[in-house]
Structure 1
């Protein structure tokens, strides 16, 4: 147990690492267009820059418990920080798209350990009475990271060049590696652990995990680009995902020393419920951060930096709320009461957004709804995390943290995939209804086209070109209105998903006062 200066140096180190990992899940999104131009890549090729990182992340996260046990948590964490930092530099130096994709995958392998292991280190750093505070600090990184990614990325792209979204990781990574080497220590359980011989490692479990979870993440990342199940490529990986996941579950439930001990889910009802709620949390957190920038940039014409600045206050509010929520938990406020409040607040955010979306909406209109989102996320994340790990000991707590982390990431991937698909297909469907009211036999339509034509003629366009511009302007107005309707529906859909999942809270078992998160839990 660390105290004083050392404790807070460890806190700064692991929260920074957690922020780095999560910022990199979203920071590249605003730079993809620039990458396409500089690396001569197609739209389909550049999506692999995002997909490769996510695939590596979701494969590594559930294995962090085993890897920390095998190599020592400090050694594993230090190596992961170095790998992430070196891969970040290599990403910035890439000269073609497939080099960048390969280095992003390596970066994701290192990054997957940063978030999962950071949580375990904080658990060991704080005494039992301060555990909610430690979890709150971890939650600050989880909530703020994906949100400030577009802000930082937008600023860098607007003022520098795309490699700098990777270079900014390097000095922070070096500092984190130094602090890790000097201040982070292994708990006694890991110090005394005997590494498994290579022949006793659950290699079948490792292979099935990579096949199942990796294929599923690939399907979610690339499905929309490939037109989902119209593509033989997506169908193939969907089948591989099903085979891998079914085989993985069977293997881990029957193996003597599984790589990921799924049996821990049967030891705690709250962990099983918490795993499902973590999926819901990831869905809402990532889907809302995904859809909002698309709306503001496509429909309102905001820059990436402007969008990022709008998201920032809500993310910071959520981060600042974490210690307050931690103290509430420490004072005995039950998670079973806090989670429904968070769900209803987040539903309020989605309902509010669905109502205020319009072509004339400005930055001020979104400030308070995004602040409400931040408050809701804070009230959901920390109670779910502490509830899931309470009462578990030793390896069980480490396995539980890895599982909930993986499931939260998969929830985010499902959220982005479903929202992206719904958005594209619903715009096409919603366009059909207003078309019935637009006709050359309709007086209002004819008058609108004539007005547009006269306007373009007044600006010096020839008659035929002015007519074509008038038709294009009318089409633009139509698509803008259709898009407004669809974005409103998307926010309503996200909120409805939270309401549908709310009854799961009734399954939460009130934890006994003696059930605390085990301080020796480790990844």
Structure 2
């Protein structure tokens, strides 16, 4: 265990690195339009800037435990920081879209390692009774990062040029590299480990992991744009993902020296349950952060910066609450009592949002629901994380951090894919359902068309042109109403999903630590 100033330098270093990685998952979203123009790319091509990073992330995260043991955790973490920083510079220097996609993949390889390795470093930096405090600090980055990404990205794009969304990583990356090699040390279990010869590595496991998880992430990222299983390419990758995932699980449970030790799940019931809950948390965290900006920008006409600033107070509240929740856990409050409140509060957030979805909604309407979201996430993330990692140290802790991180990321990918598909298809369905209410034979509808027509004729349009414009306005109103209904339904279903997960909590096994918790211990 580390002590004094050294301990807090390590904490600041790894939390900043995790924060950087998570900011970069969402910071590019608001710059895609500018990238399309500057790099002469289509929407389909530029979407790979996001997809390549996510695919690299989800492949690397579960490998971090093995790679830390093979090369030394400090060396691996330091190399990942350098790779992430250099790739950020290369992204900003890209002269065409496929250069940018390639460098984003490399950046994702470094970033995925930062996420899981940061968590395992914190596990070994704090004593077992301070696990909640260490993970609270890590959780601040996990919750705040995806939220401030669009805000920061929007500010940079509005005031500078898109390469600066990558260049801002460089100063932090340089400092983190220096601090890593000066202050971070390997725990004995890793420092004394003998690296395996290349011929003894679980190459089959590595191949199956890349095939299965990489193909699955591709399906989730590109499925909606390719019309899912109407596309032969999506069908092919879906089959490859099934083969890869099933083969990977079988291989890792039977191999003598597995690349990812899935047997750690059988040694800890709480870790197995925590892995499931991490998936659910990722689903809710990323799905809610995905749907809200789409609604505010498409329907209400907010800018990216406006939307980002709306999300910021709730994220800051979640970050502020993390140490408070950590102290409560250290004081002996069981996770199984906190989690139902977290799920319940998240349900209240989604229900409240479903009531606020109107065409006349303003910024003030969303402040308190989003604050409630921040509180709910703080009551979910930290109890789930500490429950999953409690009692695990060294190699097992690194494996557990990698597995829960991967599942949280996959949960987010599933959430975004499912919500995106539901929105697109149900807006069309609700539009059809509303059509009988605006029949051309309805006197009220005829009056609206006449009023619109007269208005456009007053602006100089001919009668035929004005009538065509009137029909377009009516169609826009219909689409807007169908969209409002769909967004409200989506928030409601997201909340119900969290409610039905509550019965899982009865399987939590409480692990009692002996002795009082010293919050001031070093």
Q: Aligning the two structures, in what range does the TM-score lie when normalised by the shorter sequence?
A: over 0.9
* Deviation of the 1:453 alpha carbon: 1.1
Check whether the contact 2:208–2:247 (CA below 8 A) recurs between aligned residues: yes
Paired position in structure 1 for 2:331: 331
Superposition map of 1:281-300 within 5 A = 281-300=281-300
Provide, for residues 314-349 of structure 1, a one-character-per-residue CA deviation record: whole Å limited to 9, x for no partner. Answer: 000000000000000000000000011000000000
Whole-Å separation in 2 of the counterparts to 1:432 and 1:65: 51
* Deviation of the 1:129 alpha carbon: 3.0
Paired position in structure 1 for 2:85: 85
Check whether the contact 1:319–1:378 (CA below 8 A) recurs between aligned residues: yes
Whole-Å separation in 1 of the counterparts to 2:127 and 2:30: 41
Whole-Å separation in 1 of the counterparts to 2:82 and 2:8: 21
Local SS of the residue matching 1:436: helix
Unmatched runs of 5 consecutive residues or more in structure 2: 517-522
Whole-Å separation in 2 of the counterparts to 1:161 and 1:468: 40
Paired position in structure 1 for 2:309: 309
* Deviation of the 1:127 alpha carbon: 2.4
Pair 1:67-2:67 in alignment? yes
Local SS of the residue matching 1:316: helix
Whole-Å separation in 2 of the counterparts to 1:234 and 1:332: 48
Whole-Å separation in 2 of the counterparts to 1:178 and 1:344: 43
Provide, for residues 45-79 of structure 1, a one-character-per-residue CA deviation record: whole Å limited to 9, x for no partner. Answer: 11111110000000000000000001000000000
Superposition map of 1:169-180 within 5 A = 169-180=169-180
* Deviation of the 1:479 alpha carbon: 0.7
Check whether the contact 1:140–1:319 (CA below 8 A) recurs between aligned residues: yes
* Deviation of the 1:123 alpha carbon: 1.6
Paired position in structure 2 for 1:23: 23
Provide, for residues 77-118 of structure 1, a one-character-per-residue CA deviation record: whole Å limited to 9, x for no partner. Answer: 000000000000101111111111000000000001101011
Pair 1:384-2:384 in alignment? yes
Check whether the contact 1:151–1:309 (CA below 8 A) recurs between aligned residues: yes
Check whether the contact 2:128–2:391 (CA below 8 A) recurs between aligned residues: no
Pair 1:132-2:149 in alignment? no
Check whether the contact 2:358–2:484 (CA below 8 A) recurs between aligned residues: yes
TM-score, length-normalised on structure 1? 0.97
TM-score, length-normalised on structure 2? 0.97
| Matched pairs, number | 516
Whole-Å separation in 1 of the counterparts to 2:383 and 2:221: 29
Whole-Å separation in 1 of the counterparts to 2:451 and 2:208: 64
Provide, for residues 264-309 of structure 1, a one-character-per-residue CA deviation record: whole Å limited to 9, x for no partner. Answer: 1111111111111000000000000000000000000000000000
Pair 1:492-2:466 in alignment? no
Whole-Å separation in 2 of the counterparts to 1:8 and 1:393: 20
* Deviation of the 1:461 alpha carbon: 2.2
Whole-Å separation in 2 of the counterparts to 1:109 and 1:174: 18
Paired position in structure 1 for 2:519: none
Whole-Å separation in 2 of the counterparts to 1:393 and 1:190: 11
* Deviation of the 1:393 alpha carbon: 3.8
Pair 1:245-2:274 in alignment? no
Paired position in structure 2 for 1:401: 401
Whole-Å separation in 2 of the counterparts to 1:376 and 1:150: 21
Paired position in structure 1 for 2:462: 462
* Deviation of the 1:12 alpha carbon: 1.1
Paired position in structure 2 for 1:49: 49
Paired position in structure 2 for 1:196: 196
Whole-Å separation in 2 of the counterparts to 1:152 and 1:123: 30
Whole-Å separation in 2 of the counterparts to 1:515 and 1:281: 31
* Deviation of the 1:515 alpha carbon: 11
Whole-Å separation in 1 of the counterparts to 2:227 and 2:41: 20
Check whether the contact 1:329–1:335 (CA below 8 A) recurs between aligned residues: yes
Paired position in structure 1 for 2:39: 39
Whole-Å separation in 2 of the counterparts to 1:349 and 1:62: 32
Whole-Å separation in 2 of the counterparts to 1:513 and 1:186: 25
Whole-Å separation in 1 of the counterparts to 2:170 and 2:6: 23
Superposition map of 1:92-171 within 5 A = 92-171=92-171
Whole-Å separation in 2 of the counterparts to 1:514 and 1:45: 56
* Deviation of the 1:511 alpha carbon: 1.6
* Deviation of the 1:214 alpha carbon: 0.4
